Amino acid sequence: MTLIAEVEAVSPFGWRSRWPEEYLLDLALEHGDWLSIHTEERWGGSIEGLAEVRRRMTRHGIDKPLVAKGIHRSDSALRQALAVADYALVVGRWPHGLEPDLQARLIFEPSYPGQVVLAISEFVSVSARPRLVLNRRDLDTGERSTDTPSPSLVKGLHRGNDPWVVQASFIETDADLDPVADAYLVGSNLVEFLEARGLGMAEVVG
């Protein structure tokens, strides 16, 4: 399974990390297979911050996929994100106005279970393998969602196209991982998750 290490220092639900953002970024760069950076202001993110991380990766020769993590309510916001990142998350809508080559670089997070089938059908026209995030957190309340479909269910709906399924939220140890998922995204619990694996402080990449 692929670890998407997310740099998350604050959330709109009143949570704030006790770790400095620079420390979280060092850990993510060191231990993540992929890197996720917020572009959403409510999570302390911005396009400028995303671009700075890209420059830092380039400066130090770090070649890992970079994900722009945000809701991205407009196609313009997605174009900005994809001008910097390798992939961009889009939540709850399919951007029909976006160019097909950019649509092929999206990771879709459904707002409700019924959108899973829609997302897979839309993805098929632009990419051989749909990429989906199954977020177990309700983005309106911050609480655990009760209707997030399981990776097994989503893969059962693929209709000949094997989705790349990302499990997200409420992951603290390996025991929380669904073995059916292809990847898992860890943000607010990144330090604790890595410590549970016996991984300590990353080398600081300034």
The predicted-structure confidence for 19-50, as pLDDT tens digits, reads as follows 999 999 999 999 999 999 999 998 899 999 99
How does pLDDT run across 53-69, given as a tens digit for each residue? 999 999 999 999 999 99
pTM: 0.91
* Inter-CA distances, 101 with 87, 98, 123, 165, Å: 11, 8, 11, 20
Please write the tens of the pLDDT for every residue from 110-121.
988 788 888 888
Mean per-residue pLDDT of the chain: 90
